[in-house]
Amino acid sequence: MASEKLFRDIPPFPENVPTMPMHTVSLAGLNSRDEKTAQQALDACQELGFFLVDLRGDELGEAVMEEIDHLFAVGKDIMDLPQDVKRAFLHDIPRSFLGFKPRGHAKTETEEPDRFEWFNIGQDGLMGTTPLQPLPALVHTHLALFTSFLKHAQRIVATVSATLARQLSLPEDTFSSLQTPTKPSGTVVRLIKAFASPAAQDLRTSMIHHTDFGTVTLLANVLGGLQILTPGGCAADEDAWRWVRPQPGCLIVNLGDAMVQWTGGLLRSNVHRIRYPPGEQRFVDRYSLALLVRPERDASMRSKVGAEADDAEDANLTAWEWEVKKAMSLSRGEAVMKSTGGKPVVV
């Protein structure tokens, strides 16, 4: 999340909505290899697949927090660019997910149009691995900020990945070596604008429930709106959803399906969605910022712990083939968006 400053000028997150209890894991503790902190991260990644990482009191964390504050200001201007500018940089699905996704491009679970826009900037272009994607002039002005945030945030992902590997008694670089930031991948920095919900008919889903495809997602929220499905709950049951209360100085960390695949189902990728911001917050547009890390394109999707995840056939695919397969089956309506992983570790 952003620093406390960004929380000053927004309506408060209400007290009377059901929230998801989450572990708060200190980045300083992870960096100093504190055993209790490391175990807390593993527990969170098995039980829920989500936790908060507290950036405060850590040099890297403080630097990232400052960049997030800047990116929230810049991101708002980018997402509020005139429609004709945004139309000139639209994504080109399924060829490329980079660029703007217009509002209403996808459906929610009620078959109504979604209520958000996003803008994806590819890591490959920012790192110079491939030519930079076409970008509006405003984004060009802030490229150094995006790149610096990406590099710093990737260091947090590396710390989380190394911690989880160690706690699972795997070599420390087990996951990091398959998601090197300078190798081609589908990793993106994403800006999201979910539209305010002033009218009664807006009190519905903004972004359909899903799990993230990749390895680790870092998410910065200021306004509420993110909801997590209670483990064991059914997405169609409204009572099974819990709001996430954004916390100043913390980032939301969640695992994606690739981590489940690599750990034979030990780690968890949990279903979530963007609903509408609760209480008085629904009258304001909601901006969020995320780093969605994907495996390197050529990484093997074989399990690193012996046991394979549910679909053993997937073990023979590269990350790129695996992602295409998943995207196709979702778009054909064959795949059900469900949480996976979270099996107990047997020692």
Please report, as ranges, the residues that interact with ligand AKG according to CB under 6 A.
190, 192, 212, 219, 221, 226, 272, 274, 288, 290
Residue 309: contacted member of Fe ion, ligand AKG, none (CB under 5 to 8 Å, by partner type): none
Query: Which DSSP string do the residues of 118-182 spell out, in sequence order?
Result: EEEEEHHHHHTSSPPPP--HHHHHTHHHHHHHHHHHHHHHHHHHHHHHHHTTS-TTTTGGG--TT
CA gap 242, 224 in Å, rounded: 11
CA gap 51, 46 in Å, rounded: 10
Which CB sits closer to Fe ion, 228 or 299?
Answer: 228
Least Å distance, CB 288 to Fe ion, is 10
Taking residue 344's Cβ as centre, other Cβ atoms within 10 Å add up to 7
Amino acid at 118: W
Residue 290: contacted member of Fe ion, ligand AKG, none (CB under 5 to 8 Å, by partner type): ligand AKG
Strands 250-255 and 50-54: antiparallel
Which CB sits closer to ligand AKG, 336 or 347?
Answer: 336
Which pair of structure tokens corresponds to residue 202? 């807006």
Which CB sits closer to Fe ion, 164 or 228?
Answer: 228
Which CB sits closer to Fe ion, 60 or 208?
Answer: 208
Which pair of structure tokens corresponds to residue 99? 């660029």
**Angle formed at CA 216 by CA 112 and CA 148, multiple of 5 degrees:** 100
Least Å distance, CB 246 to ligand AKG, is 9
Question: x/- string (CB under 5 A) for Fe ion, residues 206-235?
Answer: ------x-----------------------
Residue 190: contacted member of ligand AKG, Fe ion, none (CB under 5 to 8 Å, by partner type): ligand AKG
Q: Which residue has the tokens 């989380």?
A: 160
Residue 142: contacted member of Fe ion, ligand AKG, none (CB under 5 to 8 Å, by partner type): none
Residue 192: contacted member of ligand AKG, Fe ion, none (CB under 5 to 8 Å, by partner type): ligand AKG
Sheet holding 50-54, edge to edge: 24-26, 50-54, 250-255, 216-221, 286-292, 188-194, 116-122, 99-101
Least Å distance, CB 2 to ligand AKG, is 13
Question: x/- string (CB under 5 A) for Fe ion, residues 66-105?
Answer: ----------------------------------------
Q: Which residue is nearest to ligand AKG (CB)?
A: 288
Sequence-ordered alpha helix ranges (H) in the chain = 27-31, 35-47, 59-79, 83-87, 123-127, 137-141, 143-167, 257-262, 319-331
Which CB sits closer to Fe ion, 81 or 226?
Answer: 226
Residue 229: contacted member of Fe ion, ligand AKG, none (CB under 5 to 8 Å, by partner type): none
Which CB sits closer to ligand AKG, 190 or 268?
Answer: 190
Q: Which residue has the tokens 């695996």?
A: 322
CA gap 95, 324 in Å, rounded: 10
Which CB sits closer to ligand AKG, 74 or 274?
Answer: 274
Least Å distance, CB 178 to ligand AKG, is 20
CA gap 183, 49 in Å, rounded: 26
Judged by CB under 5 A, does residue 58 bind Fe ion? Answer: no
Least Å distance, CB 155 to Fe ion, is 21
Least Å distance, CB 332 to Fe ion, is 21
Which CB sits closer to Fe ion, 212 or 296?
Answer: 212
Which CB sits closer to Fe ion, 124 or 212?
Answer: 212
Least Å distance, CB 215 to Fe ion, is 13
Q: Which residue has the tokens 């964390």?
A: 61
CA gap 111, 236 in Å, rounded: 13
Residue numbers of the site for Fe ion (CB under 5 A)? Answer: 212
